[in-house]
Amino acid sequence: RTHQGFCEAMTGLIEDLRTFGSHPVFITGAGISVASGIPTFRGSDPDAVWSKDVLEMGTYRFFRQDPVAQWSWYLSRFQSCLDARPNPAHVAVTNLETHCLSKGSLFTVVTQNVDGLHHTAGTKNLIEIHGAARKVRCSSNTCKWGAPGGWLARQDIMFAAFLSKPCIATLPVCPECNSLLRPHVLWFDEAYTDHVNYKVGAAQDAFVNGSVFIFVGTSFSVGITELVLDFIHMRGTPAWLIDPMGRSPSSSVKLLKAPSEIVLPEIARALV
């Protein structure tokens, strides 16, 4: 019965992508990157990125209070992102996008992840709604490298001295104004509108105009997923969740309970 249910869900998802394929919108969370060796952001996993002191450590307030501790925590949690490689799920999403664009259809990926794996996999219409670990920015909003539009490539910034001896004197600073650099990520006490790179306006446009929504590996615990669900409920747009452990947040979102790195390549092969 379980296998039959899986096959029926797989067939239903593929048919929805075929039927409502004018503008698929993928919303991806940490679950899509587990096969790349990156821990989930929440949950009972002891290595979960946000499992300890999340509301305390992942804030701009904490950065102002103790930037040494904040950078130490951030680097310990997100260093793995820089070395990780896209897994078959990321590649499949890119293949689906290439196929859709070749037909003249629209395609949008909104990721909650900062790991940059969709970017590395070659996805073009990508919204990194929570920022990117491969970027940093100046903590001063009056600086050209600070919010609302400035940022610097992480690989150009030397963290060796700080990693060797974490202290105020070795904290990375802005090459323009000498203010402290900060991670280019959306912290819990910040807003989606704080930086243009978060592309919240483009995300809202995709939510308004999307023809089918595919959630992948998300726990529906952030504001952006609540916003998408509101649009789905209002418009009755077809929606699916791909997650081996997940539960659908509502009757409007159908569930395909399977690892994304297994089923997304199969879905791509069926459609491309």
Active-site residues, by number, are 130
Q: What are phi and psi of 118, to 5 degrees?
A: -65, -40
What helix, strand, coil percent values describe the chain, rounded to 5? 45, 15, 40
Q: Which stretches of the chain are DSSP H helices?
A: 2-19, 54-57, 60-65, 67-83, 88-102, 117-121, 160-164, 200-209, 223-235, 260-271
Pairing of strands 131-138, 152-153: antiparallel
84: tokens are 């990780």
- Cβ atoms 87, 36 nearer than 8 A: yes
Taking the alpha carbons at both ends of the chain, their separation in whole angstroms is 29
